[in-house]
Amino acid sequence: MATIKDIAKQAGVSISTVSYALNGSPKVTPETTERILAIAKELNYIPNAAARSLKTRETKIIGIFLTDFSGAFYGDLLQGTKETLTRKGYELIVCSGKQSHWMLPERMIDGAIILDVTFDSEDLIRYADRGHKLVVLDRELAHPNINQVLLDNKAGATLATEYLIEEGHREIYAVTGPGSSYDSKQRLQAVMQVVERTAGVQLHVIEGDFNKEGGELAAKAIMAGRRDGQAAAAVFCFNDEMAIGMMNYIAEHHSDIQVGEHIHIIGFDNMELASYSQPRLSTIDYSKRKWGALAAEQLVKLINSDAVENERIYVTLLKGKSVGTSK
Amino acid sequence: MATIKDIAKQAGVSISTVSYALNGSPKVTPETTERILAIAKELNYIPNAAARSLKTRETKIIGIFLTDFSGAFYGDLLQGTKETLTRKGYELIVCSGKQSHWMLPERMIDGAIILDVTFDSEDLIRYADRGHKLVVLDRELAHPNINQVLLDNKAGATLATEYLIEEGHREIYAVTGPGSSYDSKQRLQAVMQVVERTAGVQLHVIEGDFNKEGGELAAKAIMAGRRDGQAAAAVFCFNDEMAIGMMNYIAEHHSDIQVGEHIHIIGFDNMELASYSQPRLSTIDYSKRKWGALAAEQLVKLINSDAVENERIYVTLLKGKSVGTSK
DNA sequence: TTGTAAGCGTTATCAA
DNA sequence: TTGATAACGCTTACAA
C-alpha cells in the first residue's frame, strides 16, 4: 500500500508537494507534477478515503435510507437520485435498517435522503441539530438543515376521488396506509374533503398497510359487507401495491366479480407491476425519477449552504380499465 | 463536535483512558468508566468513523455492487445479505455504477459482493491482488481473495429444457442473455447438451439481453418465422424478464395465440412479477434470500481469513400454465 | 489502573 | 515553487 510518503521519498520531494501535485494544484511545476504522477502510477498509489475525509471532513457520499430493499417501488427514484448526484460529484449508497443510521452522525456520509417512515423524526432532528443535512421525502419537518420534497398527495387523492365520483360511484371505500404514514394521512384528508362537498356520497375508510396483504384484507372486508344487487363499489387504495393485492384476492376468491365492472379500483404510485394488471389499474402517476433527482439537487444545495425551499412533486391521473362507469 | 479529547479534559483523565473506557476495556475501573461514559453522553459524543478506520484499517461496511437499482429482481437477495451481515456486525450498502468502484480500493468498505456483469473482471482481480476480499455471484474467478457463490445454471437450464421435451415439444427456441453473461453462457451450454442427446429436437438460439425488450424482439422473430398449422413452439427464455416481455408482446400483437397452448414459454429466476403473469409462467426457482445470505457469509469468512470453498445455489423447476403439452 | 506518545494517511498553513 | 510541520480523531504499545 503506497502512500504519498512513499511517493515523496521516491521522487525526492516533500509530501506536501506530492499532495499538491496529486490534486492538480498550479503551485507545482508541470514537470514535477508529471514526474510525481508517473511515480504514483508506478507504485500503484491509491488514496485513502479515511485519511482524506478525516482532514476534509467530507466523504462525497450521500446515503439514501429506505424502509426495505424490496425495490419494486424505488428503481427509478434511485436512478434519478444517482444521476444527479454523479453529476454533482457525489456517490450514492443505499441503506436500510436502523443499524445503518450511525453512518450519518459518524460522518461516513455527507448527507442523507430519507424515505423510511420507520426512521424517527426525533432522530432526524437531532442529526440536523448537529449540522447534518437531510432531505425528507416522507414527512414534514421544519428545520434549517432539512429540506422536504413531498408528493402532492392532496392533488393525487383529490384526482382519484373525483374520478370515481365522476364515473357515477356513490359508495366509496378508502384503503389507507398505516396510521403513522404522512402520505396516507394527507391522502385521507383530501378524500374526505372531496366527499364532504359532494352530496350523496358514502365513504368507508379501511385501514391498510401499504402492502399486498392490506389490499387482500380490505378486499375481504368489502366483499363480506356487500349483498347481491347492491350498487357497485368503488375503492381507492392509497397505493398500487394494495390495489394489486385486492385485485388478486378478487380474482382468486370471487371469479364472478369483474374489476372495472362490479367493483372499481384505483391505486396510487403507478408502479411497474400496475401496468401488468388485468384490467389495467387506474392510478395516480408521477415521475419517480424526477422525485429522486430533485431530492438530490436539494440536498447538494443544502450541503453547499445555498438557499432552498421545500419542493413538491406533481401528480397526474392515469385512467385504466379497473374503473368503469357506474350502471 | 465533542471528541475524546474534550471528554478527557472534562473528566480530568487522558485520552487513552477515555478510549479504553469507551471501548469497554477492563483496564479501566468501573467507576472511571462510568464517569467517562456519563460525560460522553452529556457532551453528545459521537465517534468519528474516519478517524477510527484510519487507525483500525476497517470500516465494518460491506458493499454490494449491482448493475442498476431497478430492483425488480434483487429485493430478497439484499434482504438475505443484510440479515446475515447484521448478525456478523457489518453494515451493508448498495452501490451501482462504475463511479462507485473507488470505495473498494480506497478502503471505504471492507469487502464487496459483485452482481454486476459490467464490473470488469480485470479490475476485480487487481483489487483482489491488493488484498481486498470479494465474493462474485456472476462469474468464475479463481483467486485466493475471491469466493464464488454461483447459481446452478446447468441444472436449471437442464430442468427447463427437459421439461419442454417431456411435454412433447420438439422445436425449441432458446432466448439467451447478452453474450458476455456468464449465466447465459452456462445455460446455453446445458440446453445444447440436453438437445444433443435427444433425437428429433430442433434448437433455435436467439440472442436476447435479459430485458423485456429482448423478449419482445425474440417474440417478434419467432412469430415471423412460423406458419399456420405448424407445430407449437416452445421457448426457454433465459430469465423471467424476457419471458414476461414475450408474453406481453404476444398478448398485444397476436390475440389469437394462447401462451401454454399455441406457444409455450418457460423462464428463469421466478421473479415476483412472474407470479402475476397470465397464465402463470413456468420458471426455474431458487432462494434469492439464501443466495444473498451465503454470499455474505462467505465474504465475512474471507475477511476473517477463514477457509472457504466456492458455493453453489441449487434450483428447482416451477411448473406454470405457460407450458402445456404438445398436441 | 492510568498516562504518554507514536502513528494511521491525508490536507493545508506557514516559511523558506 | 517547494518543504517542514501541525493538525484531523482515534487506537494501542509502552511507561509509569
Mean pLDDT, residues A120-140: 97
Q: Which nucleotide is nearest to A23 (CA to C1')?
A: C11
Residue B244 near residue B267, CB atoms below 8 Å: yes
Q: Which of B139, B197, B208, B138 is nearest to B174 (CA)?
A: B208
User: Looking at the predicted structure, is the pLDDT value of residue B21 above 70?
Assistant: yes
- pLDDT tens-digit readout, A232-278: 799 999 999 999 999 999 988 998 899 999 999 999 999 988 888 88
> A94: which chain B residues are within 8 Å (Cβ-Cβ)?
69, 93-95
More confident residue, A277 or A221: A221
Q: Is B68 exposed, middle or buried (0-12, 13-18, 19+ CB in 10 A)?
A: middle
Q: Give all strands (DSSP E) within chain B, no chain letters.
A: 61-66, 91-96, 111-115, 133-136, 146-151, 171-176, 202-207, 233-237, 263-266, 283-285, 311-313, 316-318
Supply A278's cell numbers: 388485468
What is the spatial distance, in angstroms and rounded to an integer, between the CA atom of B49 and the C1' atom of C4? 24
Give the closest-approach CA distance of B101 to chain A in angstroms: 10
Measured in degrees and rounded to the nearest 5, phi and psi for residue B131 equal 105, 5
More confident residue, A327 or A148: A148
> A69: which chain B residues are within 8 Å (Cβ-Cβ)?
71, 74-75, 78-79, 82, 94
R_g over Cα of chain B: 26
Paired with A135 in beta bridges are A113, A147
Q: Which nucleotides of D are covered by protein (CB under 7 A)?
A: 1-13
Supply A136's cell numbers: 425528507
> B248: which chain A residues are within 8 Å (Cβ-Cβ)?
276
Residue whose Cα is closest to the C1' of C9? A51
Rounded to whole angstroms, the Cα distance separating B145 from B158 reads: 31
Mean pLDDT, residues A29-49: 92
Superfamily of the domain at B59-151+288-314: Response regulator (3.40.50.2300)
More confident residue, A297 or B180: A297
pTM: 0.94
HEC secondary structure over B28-63: CCHHHHHHHHHHHHHCCCCCCHHHHHHHHCCCCEEE
Residues 33-72, chain B, CB closer than 7 Å to nucleic strand D: 45-48, 51-52, 54-56
Q: Name which of A50, A91, A276 is nearest B99 (Cβ-Cβ).
A: A91
Which of these ranges, A2-16, A110-124, A149-163, has the smallest mean pLDDT? A2-16
CB–CB of B94 and A69 under 8 A? yes
Q: Which residue has the cell 470488469?
A: B120
Residues 11-40, chain B, CB closer than 7 Å to nucleic strand C: 12-17, 20, 27-29, 31-32
User: Looking at the predicted structure, is the pLDDT value of residue A82 above 80?
Assistant: yes
Mean pLDDT, residues B205-222: 95
Give the closest-approach CA distance of B194 to chain A in angstroms: 34
Percentage, residues of chain B above pLDDT 70: 98
Measured in degrees and rounded to the nearest 5, phi and psi for residue B108 equal -80, -25
Mean pLDDT, residues A99-125: 96
What is the spatial distance, in angstroms and rounded to an integer, between the CA atom of A55 and the C1' atom of D9? 10
Largest CA distance in chain B: 93
CATH 3.30.230.70 for domain A153-285, yes or no, is: no
Average pLDDT, chain A: 94
* Nearest 10 degrees: Cα torsion A52, A53, A57, A61: 130
Mean pLDDT, residues A152-170: 97
CATH class (in words) of the domain with range A4-47? mainly alpha
**Domain boundaries for CATH 3.40.50.2300 within chain B:** 59-151+288-314, 153-285
Q: Which amino acid is at B62?
A: I
Rounded to whole angstroms, the Cα distance separating A256 from A65 reads: 43
**Integer angstrom CA distances of residue A169 from A188, A285, B64:** 18, 22, 49
The predicted structure's pLDDT at residue A28: 87
Rounded to whole angstroms, the Cα distance separating A94 from B169 reads: 45
Q: Which amino acid is at B128?
A: A
What is the spatial distance, in angstroms and rounded to an integer, between the CA atom of B85 and the C1' atom of D12? 27
Per-residue pLDDT band at A1 (split at 50, 70, 90): confident
Helix (H) or strand (E) holding A266: strand A263-266
The predicted structure's pLDDT at residue A26: 85
Rounded to whole angstroms, the Cα distance separating B156 from A291 reads: 39
Mean pLDDT, residues B191-213: 95
User: Looking at the predicted structure, is the pLDDT value of residue A229 above 70?
Assistant: no
Residues 6+ apart with CB under 8 A from B4: B15, B18, B19, B22, B45
Which of these ranges, A94-103, B202-211, B253-262, B263-272, has the smallest mean pLDDT? B253-262
CB–CB of A108 and B49 under 8 A? yes
Mean pLDDT, residues B271-295: 94
DSSP assignment of B255-274, as one string? TTPPBTTTEEEE-SS--GGG
User: Looking at the predicted structure, is the pLDDT value of residue B129 above 80?
Assistant: yes
User: Looking at the predicted structure, is the pLDDT value of residue B273 above 90?
Assistant: no
The predicted structure's pLDDT at residue B231: 67
Give the closest-approach CA distance of B56 to chain A in angstroms: 10
Give the closest-approach CA distance of A106 to chain B in angstroms: 5
Percentage, residues of chain A above pLDDT 70: 98
> Helices A182-196 & A153-166, crossing angle to 10 degrees?
40
* CA angle at B135 for the pair B131 and B141, rounded to the nearest 5°: 80
User: Looking at the predicted structure, is the pLDDT value of residue A11 above 70?
Assistant: yes
**Domain boundaries for CATH 1.10.260.40 within chain B:** 4-47
The predicted structure's pLDDT at residue A231: 67
Rounded to whole angstroms, the Cα distance separating A82 from A113 reads: 12
Q: Which of A25, A29, A21 is nearest to A4 (CA)?
A: A21
The predicted structure's pLDDT at residue A73: 77
Supply B4's cell numbers: 475524546
The predicted structure's pLDDT at residue A272: 86
The predicted structure's pLDDT at residue B229: 62
Strongest mean pLDDT among B143-157, B244-258, B274-288: B143-157
> A53: which chain B residues are within 8 Å (Cβ-Cβ)?
50
Q: Which nucleotide is nearest to B16 (CA to C1')?
A: C3
What is the spatial distance, in angstroms and rounded to an integer, between the CA atom of B1 and the C1' atom of D13? 28
- pLDDT tens-digit readout, B54-107: 999 999 999 999 999 876 778 899 999 999 999 999 999 999 999 999 999 999
Percentage, residues of chain B above pLDDT 90: 86
Rounded to whole angstroms, the Cα distance separating B268 from B93 reads: 27
Mean pLDDT, residues B221-234: 80
CB–CB of B91 and A100 under 8 A? yes
